[in-house]
A = this chain, B = another copy of it.
Amino acid sequence: MPLITAVDVVDVRFPTSLTADGSDAMNKDGDYSAAYVVLRTDADGVEGYGLTFTIGRGNDLVAIAARQRGEPLVGLDVDQLVGDLGGTYRRLQSDSQLRWLGPEKGVVHLALAAVMNAVWDLAARRAQQPLWRFVADLEPEALVDTMDLSYLSDVLPRHEAVAMLTALRPTLDDRLAVLDASGYPCYTTSAGWLGYSDEKLRRLCQEAVDEGYRYLKLKIGASLEDDLRRCAIAREVIGPDRHLMIDANQVWDVGTAITWTRALSHFDPLWIEEPTSPDDVLGHATIRRAVAPVGVATGEHGMNRVLFKQLFQAEAIDFCQLDSCRLGSLNEILPVMLMAAKFGVPVCPHAGGVGLCELVQHLSIIDFLVVSGSTEGRVAEYVDHLHEHFVDPCVVKDAAYVLPTQPGYSAQMHPASLDVYAYPAGSYWAGRPSVA
């Protein structure tokens, strides 16, 4: 019976601000970063890897918080830990002093996500399965036991969660055959960062088309004139049959969101993403009613399951873009997926950043196999950068994520990458002016 001996956390930062990769109307100069968690044990080869994603300054706060969050795990039996994933989550989540700092949001919740992502990774590795398979193999009752259903009973009572999972179980192998053959469809954001020139935008849109993408996303929201020009370029390159999505990264108030989106509506965008504050459930509902048939998408900054519950109740969104590192890992993501399925809202998870694609492929696969049973209207985000730092990077082929086969949650990073990009002591950062 191996025991947890340490919860190590590394502050890792990549200098992405140098190239405007990841630039948008709110975040002009992010240095993509991760609070990277390693659960150590006293058994050879038994470890768990997880992370949460930030964009630079303050990543140290999340790293320190992850150490505090993970501390109660030290000394525990690994098999008890991974055999009671719901209890493990509740044990960490219920710390009332840390809870005060959210509750269930911001730095302490990002840190909980990082630690629990590592716990789920450890669980899947113990079972010698990729995470999606580990989850798919759990019986409905056991899977519901892992979930945080607190504050959700008015929308998702436990018996209903069990019934939804049970109903889909007999047909799981049919869906698995589909994924084996074609993977899980994804879209690309790599072409459309706000800091790119028109020429680069045009070239990257064409490359995306050539690679087989049927969905492409553009960052907008800084200048309407620029947006009109950039949307025209993108629509011209991708033609009328592929989908164009636009993303304002929260820069508008409700009124501006409506007028600006309408001004771009003749480019036929599938969705307007993050039109306003991610906290504004009722604002999103107002915008959605006003900009239809353009859909409303949000969720990458959706802080917790209670926020998503209300987005569904208020019929505020057409696409649910939950984040693998902002929600409290599978324990909180699974109930959000169940609520989305109940309300008929497709889950199109947020990805990009550092490692988000590696995590998200598992989530979309789980959504299809276990929760919603459908890929209709669903497409996972894909951004082509920083994958080289991962031991088991995601593989995209013909605009689809290929089923991961290695055990775990695909979050393990190369030790050599940590040596270079750990902040501030890694070889890249040493001697450079501090970004913090």
Which of A's residues lie within 8 Å of B, judged by CB?
Answer: 26-31, 54-58, 60-62, 64-65, 68, 95-110, 150-154, 250, 253-256, 276-283, 286, 301, 303-304, 306-307, 309-310, 313-314, 436
Q: Decide if B57 touches A68 in the complex (CB within 8 Å).
A: yes
Given A64-B61, A151-B276, residue A55 in contact with residue B100 (CB < 8 A): yes
Q: Decide if A101 touches B97 in the complex (CB within 8 Å).
A: no
Question: Smallest CB–CB gap between A238 and chain B, Å?
Answer: 29
Query: Which of A58, A68, A152, A253 gathers most chain B CB within 10 Å?
Result: A58
Q: Decide if A253 touches B154 in the complex (CB within 8 Å).
A: yes
CA separation between A101 and B54, bound complex, in Å? 7
CA separation between A171 and B276, bound complex, in Å? 38
CA separation between A304 and B102, bound complex, in Å? 12
> Given B102, B151, B280, B313, which contacts A106 in the complex, CB threshold below 8 Å?
B102
CA separation between A18 and B152, bound complex, in Å? 34
Q: Decide if A279 touches B306 in the complex (CB within 8 Å).
A: yes
Q: Decide if B255 touches A280 in the complex (CB within 8 Å).
A: no
Copies in the complex: 2
> Given B64, B254, B280, which contacts A60 in the complex, CB threshold below 8 Å?
B64
Specify the main secondary structure of chain A where it touches its partner: loop
> Given B27, B56, B68, B154, which contacts A58 in the complex, CB threshold below 8 Å?
B68
B residues less than 8 Å from A304 (CB atoms)? 279
CA separation between A57 and B111, bound complex, in Å? 14
Question: Smallest CB–CB gap between A69 and chain B, Å?
Answer: 10
Question: Smallest CB–CB gap between A153 and chain B, Å?
Answer: 4
Given A100-B30, A279-B303, residue A253 in contact with residue B151 (CB < 8 A): yes
B residues less than 8 Å from A303 (CB atoms)? 105, 279
Q: Decide if B280 touches A281 in the complex (CB within 8 Å).
A: no
B residues less than 8 Å from A281 (CB atoms)? 281-282, 310
Question: Smallest CB–CB gap between A160 and chain B, Å?
Answer: 14
B residues less than 8 Å from A100 (CB atoms)? 27, 30, 54-56, 58
Q: Decide if B254 touches A97 in the complex (CB within 8 Å).
A: no
Q: Decide if A96 touches B28 in the complex (CB within 8 Å).
A: yes
Q: Decide if A96 touches B30 in the complex (CB within 8 Å).
A: yes
Query: Which of A57, A153, A301, A304 gathers most chain B CB within 10 Å?
Result: A57
Pick the 3 closest A-B CB pairs, nearest first. Answer: A106-B106, A107-B107, A57-B97
Q: Decide if B154 touches A283 in the complex (CB within 8 Å).
A: yes
CA separation between A421 and B62, bound complex, in Å? 25
Q: Decide if A57 touches B95 in the complex (CB within 8 Å).
A: yes
B residues less than 8 Å from A277 (CB atoms)? 103-104, 151, 306
Q: Decide if B58 touches A313 in the complex (CB within 8 Å).
A: no
Other 18 A-B pairs with CB < 8 A, given A29-B96, A106-B108, A281-B310: A27-B96, A55-B97, A57-B68, A57-B98, A60-B64, A61-B64, A61-B108, A65-B107, A101-B106, A101-B110, A103-B301, A106-B107, A151-B254, A151-B280, A152-B253, A279-B303, A279-B307, A282-B310
